[in-house]
Amino acid sequence: MAVRQAATAGTPEPRRDEEAALLFERAHYRHDLRWLLPVSPRLCLACTLELLPEPGVSQTRPVPRQTRSGEPDAKPGALAVFTLLPVSPPHTRSQRLRGLLSPRPACWPPGSPVHRAKPPGCAPGRAEIRIPRDLTQSQGHTFPLSALWPLLLLALPPFPQDSALAQAPAISVPTHLRASRTGGGRSSFPSAVHLVRKKHMLSCFQDALVRHTSLVTQLVSQDQRVCVHFISVVFGLLCIVEDGSVTDLCIEVLIQLTTQLKLEQSIRCLLDECHKELYNMPSMRGSLATLTLLGKLVDAIPALADQLVMEHGNLMDYLLRGLLYPNEGIKASVCYLYGKLYSSPVAAEMLSGHFRDKLFPLFLSILDDAQTKELQINCLGLLRQLLKYDLFVSTIMNKVALEESAKNIEGPPGDPSLPLVLKKLLLSRDETLQVASAHCITAVLVHSPEKYAPAFIHADIPEFLFEHLSASSEVLVWSSYNCLTLLAEEPLFFSKCHTVYGIEAVVRSLQASLKMNNTELHKQGLLLFTEILTRQPEEIKLFTSSAMWRDASCALKEAVSSPVLEVAAEAVKATSAFLRKDHQSAPPVRYGELQSLLEAMLNRCVEFSQTCLNRRPLGHTSSRDSEKAILQRGKFLLSTLEGFRSACRLAIEFQSEPSAQENPFTAPSAEKKDTLEAFSEFLLSACDSMCIPMVMMLSPGGLCCSLQRHLEQTTQPALMEVFLSILHSLFVIVPHMKEKFSKKLGSKRI
């Protein structure tokens, strides 16, 4: 130990590139340049193929082809014959430790002077492995097995002090690596060394493949037979090793190499190997790595989904067996692979009968009973793929309809239905599951809200979606907005009074979201608010308290003042729906707050109109942008005028109600400001000072001819209709101002 410490003292720790270079250079003292990566790390494919196969298992090793004279065949391009060679018996752990800690050299290159006289203590008759320098030629070089042990010094942590050697923790080795010739069930040290060495080798190869993709692919693809053999070696290691980090590394190397090479033969070889491995597996337990590899391979190369279904159709029966296996890890990998297969429309069509007859009866039960998050996420991912197709949606939801019709029939409970399963996930405390569940509900409703929404409403899904609007996650809030907007298209959503109990959550959520910098969240929340305000039945009062009505008014006033045009446009539509008589608070009517909301809406419209007029086109592209902005201004002005017309209608409706004329709680001596008369005069003044000038900007002569023709056919007819309706309402609201206002309209000062 002291000798090792003295040798390493003062030596800087090598970086990863230097470490990888040392690893591959120490494996072989010379390399054929044809199989050597020209950049760091100096990766040698011959070394990789020699060091990756699992010791202790019969494996294929490349050996040179011999001629009749016994000399190696030097014919270029000849492929080495892969034969089964025995592996040297492992040494005991104590022998390995003595060999590592000994100050004498472990090996000497063949042909050196010291090779003739072996150093004292070296084991006699050491086994040697012959490795081809060129994988397609038969010239090779040899090195003793002890040359592999310096690799361990690079991969393992420093050994403990001699005094603490007995207390050092044992290396944890997977079960499949536990092999001991000395008896007992303890894991042997050589197996741990082999595992560390292979993991480091794969890690260096993956690093080189990521950083020097083109060079590594050129190196591997020089001979397609060598490429196929390399893939088989890595796949064989994947099937043997149970260590999770090593299997993940094998899968990543196989996926990256296959996708970068883009060789049909290598892909077909890998698919065939997976197929054979699965069907030769004595138990489903060992198929996890292979199933994961297949799923990630189809994810990386989507076209393989059709090929798997057409050429390996019996794989579907194996996947069904995996869903029945009690291990949830196996079920998760099966669901992941199913999801990738059903993501292809062609494969999904071919598997439609398989889903209807075999998969569907199992799938919802597995999702309902899933305990691990991995299985839940993969089941929901498969469900999302299935819900893209009308056929699968109708199959799933028809089962719900049959269960609804059989509610009154006594008997044992049947299989879980989709709304109840998704409701269970909505009630979970995991945000990811809640978002995924909301996405699945949306995916069903987009096909036909009027057909599928009642099933979710009967399951009380809206109640829990309203609760999620107070979540801190923007994704969850946005997903809940989407679901509720689609559910609001069903009258049952309002008749069961979900909106009465949920409107407070909507308003609070709007107030919170407007403080965030998320435009899409603002737009979706305002869209939901508009749908509720528009579709709410008149006989069911929405705002049951003045405080809630005031909060809604403040939220709309903040939204219409937004600098983002799309957000302001949605807020104007919501304001128009908000100005309904049945949405107003109980007397006294808060005319002052209504006036403040209308002023904010009109000021935003004036500001936007002036911004458009100040833009001057500086070219063809700028001219098109200017035309688009003017058209947006026309639409925004139309929405604003519709909101103003709603305010005029509200004033007309309140004229017939004595309790709405003024605030009855105002003192007799106080000035009466919050009255219907003051609100009516404000409407007339606002029309005179804001609405009329904005309409005149879009009148004939106010725009260029090209835009005027388009506006005359689209926006302007509706705009003028709304404007004339406003004038008519104002004459009804303020009849004593009718003559004076008419003269001003006809004068030249307009």
Query: What are 681-698's pLDDT values in tens digits?
Result: 899 999 988 888 888 776
Q: What does the pLDDT read at residue 20?
A: 46
Task: Tell whether pTM > 0.85.
Answer: no
Question: Which amino acid does the sequence have at 263?
Answer: L
**CB-based contacts of 69, cutoff 8 Å, min separation 6:** none
386 by Cβ neighbours in 10 Å (0-12 / 13-18 / 19+) ranks as buried
Q: What does the pLDDT read at residue 125?
A: 41
Of residues 299 and 617, the one with the higher pLDDT is 299
Q: In angstroms, rounded to a whole number, what is the distance separating the alpha carbons of residues 66 and 577? A: 90
As a whole number, mean pLDDT of residues 540-553 equals 92
**Mean pLDDT across the chain:** 74
Highest mean pLDDT pick, 27-36, 76-85, 391-400, 703-712: 391-400
Q: What does the pLDDT read at residue 138?
A: 33
Q: In angstroms, rounded to a whole number, what is the distance separating the alpha carbons of residues 528 and 486? A: 9
Check whether 368 has a pLDDT greater than 80: yes
Place of tokens 């065939």: 272
146 by Cβ neighbours in 10 Å (0-12 / 13-18 / 19+) ranks as middle
Q: What does the pLDDT read at residue 614?
A: 56
Q: What share of the chain has pLDDT > 90, as a percent?
A: 40
Of residues 701 and 518, the one with the higher pLDDT is 518
Q: What does the pLDDT read at residue 56?
A: 45
Q: What does the pLDDT read at residue 208?
A: 84
Q: What does the pLDDT read at residue 302?
A: 92
pLDDT band at 219 (very low <50, low <70, confident <90, very high): confident
Q: What does the pLDDT read at residue 381?
A: 95
Q: What does the pLDDT read at residue 414?
A: 58
Segment 623-645, tens digit of pLDDT: 566 667 667 777 888 999 999 99
Of residues 158 and 629, the one with the higher pLDDT is 629
Q: How far apart are the first and last CA of the chain?
A: 101
Range in 138-147, 309-318, 532-541 with the lowest mean pLDDT: 138-147
How many CB atoms are located within 10 Å of the residue 725 CB? Answer: 15
Residue 143 structure tokens: 């090195």
Range in 31-35, 104-108, 365-369 with the lowest mean pLDDT: 104-108
How many CB atoms are located within 10 Å of the residue 400 CB? Answer: 20
